[in-house]
Chains A and B, each alone.
Chain A
Amino acid sequence: MLITCPYCGPRDVIEFTYQGDGNRERPQPASQDLDAWNAYVYDRLNPAGDHNEIWQHSGGCRAHLRVVRNTITHEILSTAFARGGHKSADNRAEGRS
């Protein structure tokens, strides 16, 4: 599996660390909204198909990336710096930074 880092170019997956579901919406640290925290910790789309994910190029430039990966084929549909704008699989997370 190859992931194309926006900085380093195509690299083997062994250079990357998975950092979880990219659809999660982290509540403000001071938030006491238990439903929001519950959703952040437990709710996952778990799609059979395109999935928003956060990866870190830990064995390379160490940038955090937004990656859209197909969970059935492992095809990488897009990669972008997590800091900037990004393409999402289902538009749910569009516009977040």
Chain B
Amino acid sequence: MAEPHLPERQSPLEPEYHPGSHGNFEHGVDVILSETRPGSILQLAAWPGEEKRLIEVIRKVTGLALPDGAGGGVNSGARAVFGFAPGKFTVVDEAEGLAQAFAGSITPAIGTLTDLSHGRTAIRIAGPKAEWVMAKFFAIDFALPAFPLGAGRSTNHHDIFAQIQRSGADQFDIYVFRSFARSFWKALCHASEEVGYEVQ
């Protein structure tokens, strides 16, 4: 039987997404910018006192074990999870259908699931100057000891709310509202010009 033909998802960055090297790259590119286009982006929230049960559900469904503590997270490459507020977590999967995988596991007694797959855009910045460029955008500490691998942060850039996960020693994944994503992307490209950047 033929595969079902699903409509291809459009990127909000499309008109401003220009693969190749840009800016001051004569001496090499120091950051790589890309849109990761995960199939699933979910927000899970536990009612007061139900956080541990929700963390257990996340572990069962995704195989990812959340570390203790505010903003703790883990990133396996294909899947990622991090805390972004008390009792609230962002869960990401390369594949579509993660919301259905959680259905039935997050009971009304535990909390809520909101599917934001079409509402957020995921942008990745990687490279030796990733911390440098990020520090120009957000007033938080991007040094590895203060912002460990897998950890998540909620903050904003000129009123554009952003969730950030450190997905590598010199790599960050930024989740922004889809409607603001193109504007944010353009600003990020401008900010990366001085170090030389490549769009992949």
Min distance, Cβ A30 to any Cβ of chain B, angstroms: 25
Interface size class of chain A, counting residues whose CB lies under 8 Å from the partner chain: 10 to 19
A59 vs B163: C-alpha distance when bound (angstroms): 10
Would B71 and A7 count as touching, CB distance under 8 A? Answer: yes
Residue of A at shortest CB range from B153?
Answer: A8
Asked whether B154 is an interface residue with its Cβ less than 8 Å from the other chain, the reply is yes
Would A62 and B155 count as touching, CB distance under 8 A? Answer: no
Residues in B neighbouring A40, C-beta threshold 8 A: none
A66 vs B153: C-alpha distance when bound (angstroms): 21
Tally chain B residues at the interface, Cβ within 8 Å: 15
What does the 1/0 interface line of A48-80 toward B look like (CB < 8 Å)?
A: 000000000001111100000000000000000
What does the 1/0 interface line of A1-14 toward B look like (CB < 8 Å)?
A: 00000111101101
Min distance, Cβ B163 to any Cβ of chain A, angstroms: 10
Residue of B at shortest CB range from A61?
Answer: B85
Would A60 and B154 count as touching, CB distance under 8 A? Answer: yes
Would B155 and A63 count as touching, CB distance under 8 A? Answer: no
Residue of B at shortest CB range from A63?
Answer: B86
Residue of A at shortest CB range from B155?
Answer: A60
Given A61-B154, A83-B48 in contact, is the A7-B139 Cβ separation under 8 Å?
Answer: no
Would A62 and B140 count as touching, CB distance under 8 A? Answer: no
Residues in A neighbouring B48, C-beta threshold 8 A: 83
Binding site for B on A (CB under 8 A): 6-9, 11-12, 14-15, 59-63, 81, 83
Q: List 15 A-B contacts (CB under 8 A).
A: A7-B85, A8-B153, A8-B154, A8-B155, A9-B140, A15-B139, A15-B156, A60-B154, A60-B156, A61-B84, A61-B85, A61-B154, A62-B85, A81-B86, A83-B48
